[in-house]
Amino acid sequence: MSGLSRYGGWALITGASSGLGREFARQIAAEGVNCVLVGLGQDALNALANELGEKHGVTCRPLEVDLASDDAVSDLAERLADLPIRILVNCAGVAHGGAFETRNPDKLKQLVQLNCLAPLLLTRALLPQMLERQAGAVIIVSSLQAFISCPNEAAYCASKAFLMHFGESLWGELKNTPIDCLTVCPAGMKTDFFKAEGFSQADCDRMWRFSSSPEDIAKLALRDLGRKTISAPLMTRFSAFLARILPRRWAIAIVTRVTRGLVDHKQL
């Protein structure tokens, strides 16, 4: 693990009610860091807060916040003004796959607000206090799809590319400061993410064969924090390499065949 106590203060984890966000919270709390748990589902957040408090003796503040709503980030920043946030994990995200011309515009707006605007503004709100205190870390969760154009996941793919470029650019700005910045790019994870998107259990099982567990991704990221610009498992690094050496039209054609078959079987 990475010795997170060196940052001091509290950690704020978005998307903490499930999946990778919940696992980040568990591993950060295991190092004795108090946590703000942000997500949807107050019962799930309360249960996690109780679990971490009992197991690790940390203090947790569970906050149900819809980060896709207008003014959510500014309201959250005001509610946390009394806390020294030194670790920010931007993990909340949503997908909205299918033929682009059939996508609900309101859901596309929600995707951009949650995946792109919320981490952008939350990082902007908390970074000044980290710089002032000369201690802090920002973790941004992107995806393999930041490297590979993905038909039938156009908006999601674009949002993850945004996050990767944001994270790498921010790392460049902060490299001569005490603030660490890391972008995390999983190839896929064994969570309920695909089920929530309407994929069948058979397709979920097929995708999970090539996916990492949230525990492994969080462990890898916290190990790489302060050491690398991007944290990625082997599948991401291999796929990104292929995407670089293949003509882009070939890469897109291959991805199209995979995603078209999955979208055709979604339980819409």
CA dist., res. 28 & res. 137, Å (int): 12
CA dist., res. 178 & res. 136, Å (int): 7
Q: Tell me which residues are annotated as active site.
A: 156, 160
**Structure token pair of residue 197:** 């998107």
**Structure token pair of residue 176:** 């001569």
Instruction: Give the Cα-Cα-Cα angle 71, 214, 139 (nearest 5 degrees).
Output: 45
Structural contact between residues 26 and 52, judged by C-beta atoms closer than 8 angstroms: yes
| Strands, E assignment, the chain | 10-14, 35-39, 60-64, 85-90, 136-141, 179-184, 230-231
Q: How many CB atoms lie within 10 A of CB 127?
A: 20
